[in-house]
Amino acid sequence: MIDVEDLIALVRNYNPRTDADLIRRAYDYGLRMHEGQFRHSGEAYFSHPVAVAAILTEQRLDDATIVTALLHDTIEDTRSTYSEVAALFGEDIAELVDGVTKLTNLQLGSSATKQAENFRKLFMAMSKDLRVILVKLADRLHNMRTIRSMRVDKQAQKAHETMEIFAPLAGRMGMQWMREELEDLSFKVLNPEARTSIIRRFVTLQKESGDVIPKITADIRLELEKAGIEADVFGRAKRPYSIWRKMEEKRLSFSRLSDIYGFRIITRTEADCYRVLGVIHQRWRAVPDRFKDYISQPKTNGYRSIHTTVSGRDGKRVEVQIRTRQMHEVAEAGVAAHWSYREGVRAENPFAVDPAEWITTLTERFEEGDHEEFLENVKLEMYSDQVFCFSPKGDVVKLPKGATPIDYAYAIHTRIGDNCVGAKIDGIRVPLWTRLKNGQSVDVITAAGQRPQATWLDIVVTGRAKGAIRKSLREEDRSRFVKLGTELARLAFEHVGRKVTDKALRTAAKALGLTDDTELLARLGSAELTASEVIEALYPELVVAPTETVEPTRAVLGLAADQSFRRANCCQPLPGERIIGITYRGQGVVIHAADCPVLAEFEQQPGRWVDLHWHSGRHAAAYSATLKVTISNDAGVLGRICTLIGQQKANISDLHFVDRKPDFYSLYIEVELRDVEHLHTVLTALEAESDVAQVERYRDLTRKP
Q: What DSSP string runs through 136-169?
A: HHHHHHHHHHTGGGS-HHHHHHHHHHIIIIIHHH
Asked if 410 and 417 count as a contact pair (C-beta separation under 8 A), the reply is: yes
Single out the residue of 423, 426, 419 nearest to residue 434, CA to CA.
423
- Amino acid at position 377, single letter: N
Calculate Rg over the CA atoms of the chain.
35
Is residue 663 among the annotated active site residues? no
Q: What are phi and psi of 143, to 5 degrees?
A: -65, -40
User: Which residues are bridge partners to 446 per DSSP?
Assistant: 420
Asked if 538 and 560 count as a contact pair (C-beta separation under 8 A), the reply is: no
Task: Give the β-pairing of 261-267 and 588-593.
Answer: unpaired
**Exactly one of 19, 43, 58, 76 is catalytic; which is it?**
76
Q: What are phi and psi of 253, to 5 degrees?
A: -80, 165
Single out the residue of 519, 525, 520 nearest to residue 481, CA to CA.
525
User: Which residues are bridge partners to 557 per DSSP?
Assistant: 613
**Exactly one of 19, 43, 58, 77 is catalytic; which is it?**
77
N-term to C-term CA, the chain: 92
Is residue 76 among the annotated active site residues? yes
Asked if 621 and 679 count as a contact pair (C-beta separation under 8 A), the reply is: no
Q: Pseudo-torsion of CA 310, 312, 316, 321, nearest 10°?
A: -50
CA dist., res. 138 & res. 68, Å (int): 12
Q: What DSSP string runs through 581-614?
A: EEEETTTEEEEEETT-GGGGGGTT-GGGEEEEEE
CA dist., res. 510 & res. 512, Å (int): 5
Q: Which residues are catalytic?
A: 76-77
